Amino acid sequence: MKSKIDALWKWLDERLDLSQIIAFAQHKTVPQHKYSFWYYWGGISLFLFLVQALTGVLLLIYYRPGPEAFDSVRQITYEINFGWLIRSLHAWAANLMVASIFVHMFSVYFMKAYRAPREFGWWSGMLLLMISTVFGFSGYLLPMNELSYFATKVGLEIPTSMPIIGPLIGDIVRAGPEVSEYTLQRFFALHVVVLPALFVPILVFHLWLVQRNGMALPPSEEARPVQERKTIPFFPNFFMKDLAVWLITLNVLALLAVCFPWDLGVQADALKPAPLGIHPEWYFMSAFQILKVFGNLLPGDLGEAMGVGIFTLGIILWMLIPLYDPDSRSGERARHATYFGLLVLAGVIVLTIWGYAAL
Amino acid sequence: MSGTKETVTRRDFLRIILTGVGACYAAAIGYPLWRYLISPAEQAKSLAAVKEVTLKDAHTLAAGSVLMFKFGSHPAMLIHHKDGSWVALDAVCTHLGCTVQYQPDRNVIHCNCHGGEYDAQTGKNISGPPPRPLRPYVVKVIEGGVLVSRV
């Protein structure tokens, strides 16, 4: 028996270079220091993405876009065995995934893990975050309930009221002047085909870069002499810790999904007045609030254009940070970048709270 | 603490605990997943458990014609023969499950998939590949319709 297994192993190894992969995993190490906790957040985001892929496929087998969209979500919630659980998991994991990507992004930022040679890790990660928010926006419409209908309507008012490209976005994204079944159908295609097809290759690239470059050290660790730095083997030590964190994530997710099942809501009706408290998802709130503030400060289109301009400029600066933070290349703390990061973090938090308070 | 015996026991203990916890997780994920996937099959089974179906206004069906209907979730056919008799049969070919059709001009039940044929009075398989007859139902003409029930 053992010789047969050995022979099979040899046959596979000759063709797939499996022993190289194992040798790589055995030699790979992960730095161990007081900020190691933040290394887990990329893995948590990945785990939640896997949950999204699995629960998404499960919802796909009963969900029907088109005029029956709301009814099919009602069936999933009330008639299909455990349908409420699958739907609740998908909705909760979506929010947790965006949240954990934000934590991952800010921890990478403050540990200055975007520095050379890791610029592409930063850029691909930013792309993944942006695609995740589009996932969120498009998925939010799919149940076609009152909240999702009006939130999408309001959300699309902003880009479509921009000069020149606004009407184009209205025609292409919304498929006409109103959120309709056509909007729903293309959001569905976007959500289940286009976005996954974009997301997965970028994710593979992102993960490959982590393997190529290894875990980044924060500047405070880099300042230590090499012999004083501590590491643990990736396999099995870090791998086991990663699995334990995934298990904790799964438990938190399951508790949330079971104790706070996602609401079905009321079927959307364009002729009924919008319900109170229509607002964007929390991860759009800060952007929404910036637009609102500028819209109030400056009259008409000018205010809105300023808001969009400032927000876009902020994102571009944020993405280009690896290029204009040269001070840190030597391993010193680059204070300006840190202050900028703190400013952005504080800005996002304050604007989000302000946005909710102003509802 | 000396000796290898205690170390092995603790390792075994941990392994049993971990296997048990793993099995609990597998069950906690696997059971809802399985129930979720078989939901439509379960619903069809509860539909198939019906004992009788009332076909409203079917008593006005012209002689020499057929009415296709669903007995639970199962396709079935009600034939009103030219001699005035009523026959209800399964409409699923016993060969490979295609839906069969009544041909009034030849007075046979024909399956387009592989040319199987059944007697239109009894449902008996008379030519082609079908291995078994079509299952008959009990038909009763009542006021305002036709009552079809299991034998």
Report the pLDDT value the prediction gives residue B1, as an integer from 0 to 100: 47
Query: Rounded to an integer, what is the distance from CA A14 to the centroid of its chain?
Result: 39
Interface of B to A at Cβ within 8 Å reads: 32-33, 35-39, 42-43
φ, ψ of residue A65 in degrees (nearest 5): -70, 175
Helices (H), chain B: 5-37, 39-48
Classify domain A26-265 by CATH number: 1.20.810.10
Segment A72-97 shows an average pLDDT of 97
Segment A88-117 shows an average pLDDT of 95
pLDDT at B139 over 50: yes
Nearest CA-CA distance, residue A80 and chain B, Å: 6
Selected residue with higher pLDDT from B136 and A234? B136
Residues in B touching A81 (Cβ below 8 Å): 32, 35-36, 38-39, 42
* A54 Cβ under 8 Å from any chain B Cβ: no
| pLDDT tens for each residue of A172-189 | 999 988 999 999 999 999
Segment A234-239 shows an average pLDDT of 87
Report the pLDDT value the prediction gives residue A110, as an integer from 0 to 100: 92
Mutate to test the interface with B, among A47, A51, A75, A81 (most CBs of B within 10 A): A81
Asked if B36 and A79 come within 8 Å (Cβ–Cβ), the reply is: no
pLDDT at A228 over 80: yes
pLDDT at A353 over 90: yes
Q: Which residue of B has its CA nearest to A61?
A: B37
Question: Is it true that the peptide bond before A261 is cis, omega within 30 degrees of 0?
Answer: no
Nearest CA-CA distance, residue B42 and chain A, Å: 10
| pLDDT tens for each residue of A268-294 | 988 888 888 788 899 999 988 888 888
Report the pLDDT value the prediction gives residue B138, as an integer from 0 to 100: 95
d(CA A260, CA A257): 5
Nearest CA-CA distance, residue B96 and chain A, Å: 26
Nearest CA-CA distance, residue A75 and chain B, Å: 11
Nearest CA-CA distance, residue B133 and chain A, Å: 36
| pLDDT tens for each residue of B18-36 | 999 999 999 999 999 999 9
Selected residue with higher pLDDT from A58 and B5? A58
| pLDDT tens for each residue of B91-101 | 999 999 999 99
What b-and-e string marks burial along B41-54, b requiring 16 or more CB atoms within 10 Å of the CB?
Answer: eeeeeeeeeeeebe
* A80 Cβ under 8 Å from any chain B Cβ: yes
Residues in A touching B32 (Cβ below 8 Å): 81-82, 85-86
Q: Where are the beta strands (DSSP E) in chain A?
A: 29-32, 230-233
Mutate to test the interface with A, among B18, B33, B36 (most CBs of A within 10 A): B36
pLDDT-derived band at A299 (thresholds 50, 70, 90) equals: confident
Segment A82-105 shows an average pLDDT of 98
DSSP B134: P
Report the pLDDT value the prediction gives residue B4, as an integer from 0 to 100: 54
Segment B123-132 shows an average pLDDT of 94
Tokens found for residue A206: 């992102």
pLDDT-derived band at A326 (thresholds 50, 70, 90) equals: low
What CATH architecture is A279-359?
Orthogonal Bundle (1.10)
Nearest CA-CA distance, residue A81 and chain B, Å: 5
Asked if B39 and A58 come within 8 Å (Cβ–Cβ), the reply is: no
d(CA B61, CA B145): 10
ipTM passes above 0.95: no
Q: Write down how long chain B is.
A: 151
Residues in A touching B43 (Cβ below 8 Å): 79
pLDDT at B142 over 50: yes
pLDDT at A333 over 60: no
Asked if domains A26-265 and A279-359 share a fold, the reply is: no
Residues in B touching A50 (Cβ below 8 Å): none
d(CA A59, CA A83): 8
d(CA B15, CA A323): 50
Q: Could you state, in order of their start, the residue ranges of all structural domains in chain A?
A: 26-265, 279-359
* A257 Cβ under 8 Å from any chain B Cβ: no
Report the pLDDT value the prediction gives residue A24, as an integer from 0 to 100: 86
Segment A231-258 shows an average pLDDT of 93
